[in-house]
Amino acid sequence: MSLGDILEAAPDDRAAEPTDRIGARIDVVLAKVGDLLLRHRTAIHAVQWTMVAIYVTLIVVPVIVPLPGRLDHVWSHATLFAQFVFWGIWWPFVLVSMVLVGRVWCGLMCPEGALTELASRHGRAGAIPRIVTWAGWPFVAFASTTIYGQMISVYQYPAPVLVILGGSTVAAVGVGYLWGRDKRVWCRFLCPVNGVFRVLSKLAPVHFRVDGARWDAFRLTGAKPERINCAPMVALPTMRGNSHCHMCGRCSGFRGGSITLSRRSPNHEIVHVAGDRPDPWETALIVFGLMGIAVGAFHWSSSPWFIDAKQMVADGLADAGILWPLTVTPPWWILTHYPAQNDVLSLLDGALLVTYILATATVIGGVIAIGLVIASLIGGGWSSRRFHHYAQTLIPMAGTGVFLGLSALTVTLLKSDGIVMDWVEPLRIGLLAGASTWSAWLIWRVAGLYRRSVVARAATLVAMLPAIAISDTAWWLFFWGW
């Protein structure tokens, strides 16, 4: 088969076709890995329940021990250790895994996923209400948990971790019990990080590929296909991407080998699939969530602008004789309240914190949205499809930013324990430069789908440069400017 035949036969999966011997061997190995996942469900269940035990230990034990003192270390205090594991290792590298291997975390290791599926297996099996399937939940859940987490200092204290993560887990079990039979309704529609995982997994170089021709050929044989349970409820015949697939391997080899774990270009889904399925809520998550709200959440505690705004408002209130916003301090589950640690937020602090995060999201998201509008217009007049497609090209920058923000806690904890990390700054610069270049390349590739002219593609890239620049500037301020 010639390369032309391959491209003509499978235009949507051209990156996965073996065009050389090495590629063919990789495809064989990947297919075998997928089959191993299918055959070793017992081992996978053991891994899942081990993760559940670790997860429960990490969120419960720190709550029942005293808060750490200044002389405590990561290796000597349960709270600091759990903090380091959760926010310094667990979450940053779960995000990395999405880019490297798709949603393997969701399918093979996630504690909430395992618990909600178990509850669904033995629950009421009710029909899923329409409100649960609302497309805006991933954005709303991410935004609300991010902002609330900052209000109660989830990265610093164990009780907020128990409230947010423990509350999320209880909700996952409750949703599983109420709706669906042996499914992951929570994971598909309501999980606060579902949207983040969906967008990042689009960059993964592996996926479970559906061979449409083989699927149809199997149907013509009249053979009865084996029954499989797709817990995240993916429409297997039309699955073209990684967004909803949990990479659990249950469908590997389905319908005579129609579904196999395969390789692809990391750019493939963004360039060739995302534009066919525009999703306004996903655009909001990328532009205003990951690149806006998340940045504001990491920024505010070290921002001189926040301090200046607080001083200005406090002076104005004091001059007017209105002191209660400065003196009223709500309980810890509303705003941070730890007097023994000299860490207490007043109503004014809380109001300005939320305002700062939302203002950051508005400014950064607004600049990015303007670039997306101009890029869409250059492509041949206004098109919401092009607008949302170009938003997808910013996923590398969005994901890298959140990873750098979370890993900043890792670095802070390790440095406080005397570990020298001179290599961190060059690595941060390299990651930001690499993500910016990747997004620029994706913009160039997507622009070529709408306008063949090199001039038009270059103009589109120029229109999107402010979006890249404002994101890089935000992280420059966080790491080096302030």
The per-residue pLDDT for range 248-275, each reduced to its tens digit, is 999 999 999 999 999 999 999 999 999 9
Looking at residue 257, its pLDDT comes to 93
The HSE-up count of residue 33 (CA atoms within 13 Å, CB side) is: 16
Which is more confidently placed, 432 or 422? Answer: 432
Query: For 222-245, how does the pLDDT look when each residue is reduced to its tens digit (9 = 90+)?
Result: 888 888 999 999 999 999 999 999
The mean pLDDT value for 142-158 works out to: 97
Band (pLDDT 50/70/90 cuts) for residue 14 is very low
- pLDDT above 70 covers what percent of the chain? 96
Q: Is 60 exceeded by the pLDDT of residue 314?
A: yes
Q: How far apart are the first and last CA of the chain?
A: 58
Mean pLDDT of the chain: 94
pLDDT at 16 over 60: no
pLDDT of residue 416: 82
pLDDT (mean) for 371-388: 96
What radius of gyration, in Å, describes the C-alpha atoms of the chain? 24
> What pLDDT score was predicted for residue 415?
87
Convert the pLDDT of each residue in 442-470 to its tens digit.
999 999 999 999 999 999 999 999 999 99
pLDDT digits (tens, 9 = 90+) for 322-353: 999 999 999 999 999 999 999 999 999 999 99
Cα dist from 367 to 73, 364, 419, 480, whole Å: 42, 5, 39, 22
The pLDDT assigned to 222 comes to 84
Which tokens belong to 300? 């505010």
Which whole number is the average pLDDT over 412-427?
88
- Three-state SS across 341-407? HCEECCHHHHHHHHHHHHHHHHHHHHHHHHHHHHHHHHCCCCCHHHHHHHHHCCHHHHHHHHHHHHH
Q: Is the pLDDT of residue 400 over 50?
A: yes
pLDDT-wise least confident of 174-183, 185-194, 412-421: 412-421
Instruction: Determine the pLDDT at residue 19.
Output: 55
Predicted local distance difference test score (pLDDT) of residue 12: 45
pLDDT value at 432 more than 70:
yes
**What's the pLDDT at 409?**
87
**E strand or H helix at 208:** strand 206-210
Region 143-152: mean pLDDT is 98
What are the tokens at 337? 């309240």
pLDDT on residue 373: 98
Better pLDDT: 477 or 76: 477
| Contact (Cβ atoms closer than 8 angstroms) between residue 59 and residue 112 | no
pLDDT > 50? residue 9: no
SS3 category, 262: strand
Q: What is the mean pLDDT of residues 95-109?
A: 98
- Tens of pLDDT, residues 28-80: 999 999 999 999 999 999 999 999 999 999 999 999 999 998 888 888 899 99
